[in-house]
Amino acid sequence: MICLGIESTAHTFGIGIVSFEGKILANEKSAFTTEKGGMIPSDLSKHHESVKDVVLAKALKSANLSMKDINLISFSAAPGMAPPMMVGLRFAKELAKKYNLFLVGVNHSISHLSIGDLITGAKDPVYLYVSGPNTQVVAFAGGRFRVFGETLDLGLGNMLDKFAREIGLGFPGGPKVEQLAHGKYVELPYGVKGMDVSFAGMLTKALRLFKQGVSKEDLCFSLQETSFAMLAEVAERAMAHVDKKELLLIGGVAANKRLCQMLEIMCKERNAGFFAVPLEFSGDQGAMIAWQGVLQKNDVVNPEKADIRPYERIDEVEVTWA
Ligand code: ATP
Ligand code: FE2
């Protein structure tokens, strides 16, 4: 049995094809880009409309399958921007009707976590999700995925991007900051508030120090050490609180070697396992939607009944598959 998953919540239109056993057969995508920055919902819809057939054809070709081999279609139903999500929904309905298939609408955020489990083999981890806009500590507890801590202002990736842009390093900033992070430590605000984190204060301070002549290397090093220590602290407290023996790092910032190293040391000291999701499966893509569809194969609906839920939070989802 095979599920085809459609991702369209934001900049990426992706199609993944995954077997019910968890074998990834295809993962094709096309991401909207713009020079001006900023994502206008109607531009995303136009982009997704224009690439959807090509992305589908590529996915089927790389899986060496035809639509007749597909048994189930899943799509990202939440959370995200309605206009691009509607493109995915309409495409899913069209295909489901044409090939007489059921549909399942899944939560995009939970799909990021589930594909992480599949790819790394983690069983029941605390998830640390760190991308451009997101910084969250999540775990499955009491029958739901719950957010134990999150950023109160910027996501860590966006903070690094802003810092890099302001000091002339270009975009995306995370990798540039990592390359330069070999100076000495200068003190920056340590923004842990309860289980939440805040990065705005350290960004402001780092930019002020830059204007005062502190070197890029010292600032990149100090931003990394401070922000990563904050994440290690809240992740560790979440692991202790919910009594979990694994930590799974997801999101674009998972590419950072120093972050992985710090989290790995923390996990070793607790006798816990540490997993980082490789880049192909940590950004937005269709394979995660397809795999979540497999997990939720009992939640299918007829194509007419399928809809999107733009504001659904991760902790609102009833977990039927765990
Ligand atoms: P989302 O899928 O949550 O909408 P996104 O579109 O920002 O997130 P991702 O690819 O998950 O996409 O994350 C991109 C972020 O990761 C950028 O902010 C980038 O600077 C950051 N990043 C990438 N590589 C590194 C690195 N080596 N070190 C630190 N940050 C990094
Ligand atoms: Fe995402």
Q: Which of 39, 161, 180, 253 best tests ligand 1's pocket when mutated (most atoms within 8 Å of CB)? A: 253
As beta bridge partners, residue 19 has 2
Angle between helices 216-242 and 156-166 (to 10 degrees): 170
Angle between helices 216-242 and 173-180 (to 10 degrees): 110
Q: Which of 131, 250, 262 best tests ligand 1's pocket when mutated (most atoms within 8 Å of CB)? A: 131
Ligand with an atom nearest the CA of residue 282: 1
How many Å apart are CA 313 and CA 147, to the nearest integer?
10
Beta carbons within 10 angstroms of residue 184's beta carbon: 10
CATH architecture designation of domain 2-111+283-316: 2-Layer Sandwich (3.30)
- Residue 245 CA, ligand 1 centroid: distance in Å: 26
Domain spans in the chain, listed from the N-terminal domain onward: 2-111+283-316, 123-281
The domain over range 123-281 is classified in CATH as 3.30.420.40: yes
Task: Give whole-number Cα distances, 112 to 117, 162, 277, 280, 286, in Å.
Answer: 9, 24, 10, 11, 10
Per-residue tokens: 223: 């931003």
Residue with the two structure tokens 């830059």? 210
Per-residue tokens: 206: 């780092």
Fold agreement between 2-111+283-316 and 123-281: yes
Task: Give whole-number Cα distances, 7 to 16, 239, 253, 292, in Å.
Answer: 8, 30, 21, 11
Note down pLDDT in tens along the chain; length 322 residues.
999 999 999 999 999 999 999 999 999 999 998 776 678 999 999 999 999 999 999 999 999 999 999 999 999 999 999 999 999 999 999 999 999 999 999 999 999 999 999 999 999 999 999 999 999 999 999 999 999 999 999 999 999 999 999 999 988 899 999 999 999 999 999 999 999 999 999 999 999 999 999 999 999 999 999 999 999 999 999 999 999 999 999 999 999 999 999 999 999 999 999 999 999 999 999 999 999 999 999 999 999 999 999 999 999 999 999 8
